[in-house]
Amino acid sequence: MVTHHPRLLPVMWRISGGQDVVAGQWPWQASLMYQGLHVCGAVLINSRWLVSAAHCFLKKSHAPENYRVLLGSTQLFEHTQHTLEMPVSQIVMHPDFEKLHPFGSDIAMLQLLFPVNFTSYIIPACLPAPGLQLLNNASCWITGWGMLNEETPLPTPFHLQEAKVGLIENQFCNLVYGHRLSKNFSVYEEMLCVGDFSTGKAICHGDSGGPLVCDLLSSWVLVGLASWGLDCRHPTYPSIFTNVSYFSHWIDEIQKDNPISLTLFTTTGTLRLV
């Protein structure tokens, strides 16, 4: 007898069931590139910082010079006049990542070497207040460059995908997953459960670290980061996102501990840090 266990995978991967994005529609979406290749999504939160999933950096060098961030583009590897490719100066993974349970504290921050100038194609997402309570009927969207399904990669020109999704109660999500996974893989308070049972819209390989944004009081708020789920052969199972609101204080602390310093040229030609 052969027992088949579902593969639980980090979603380093297209939006399953998504559609092409109009240029400039999600201007905080970034591609995190490792040694020139797209590995994950990331989200711009101000002129110097982005957030992504901590698991995107597993089994990779943490040296910032190996990473670059692509902004202002909806098509990978086809740059336009709106595209910026920015070097990274620092990577900060949450200190509790996976210490308490699988995919726990799955969040990381990236500091850019230079500040970004905002345009209509490059705009940061709003951060949620600590303890934000979301209504199940909130208008929420996911975006990413991941695979279409388990066997089908996103075809050229690698167009950014979007999908509207619903929020699902964590308790119900645990019931759904409880039939297939061990109790170690639970949806905790620091996570959000997202999906669409009618259409199977979900995250897939390559979408990790990408945004879940919700329209709250006419502002797009970053409420989640793509974290994990069943493999893409099971799109009706919900996708799990890191709950950004849960880590609001940590995000603030990292920025305060790493203030921006500017390098200027003086009239004598020397450098001065201010």
CA-CA distances (angstroms) from residue 207 to 16, 55, 112, 123, 272?
A: 10, 12, 21, 20, 40
Cα–Cα distance, 108 to 148 (Å, whole number): 25
Any catalytic annotation for residue 55? yes
Nearest to 222 by CA among 209, 231, 232: 209
Total residues belonging to the chain: 274
Any catalytic annotation for residue 106? yes
DSSP H helices in 40-89 = none
Strand partners for 112: 88
Catalytic site residue from 55, 94, 159, 205:
55
**Contact (Cβ atoms closer than 8 angstroms) between residue 53 and residue 225:** yes
Strand residue runs (E) in the chain: 8-10, 19-20, 29-34, 37-44, 49-52, 67-71, 84-93, 108-112, 139-144, 161-168, 191-195, 211-216, 219-230, 239-243, 263-265, 271-273
Catalytic site residue from 52, 73, 208, 245:
208
Catalytic site residue from 105, 106, 186, 239:
106
Cα–Cα distance, 57 to 53 (Å, whole number): 8
**Contact (Cβ atoms closer than 8 angstroms) between residue 167 and residue 193:** yes
**Contact (Cβ atoms closer than 8 angstroms) between residue 125 and residue 220:** yes
**Contact (Cβ atoms closer than 8 angstroms) between residue 209 and residue 203:** no
Residues labelled catalytic: 55, 106, 208
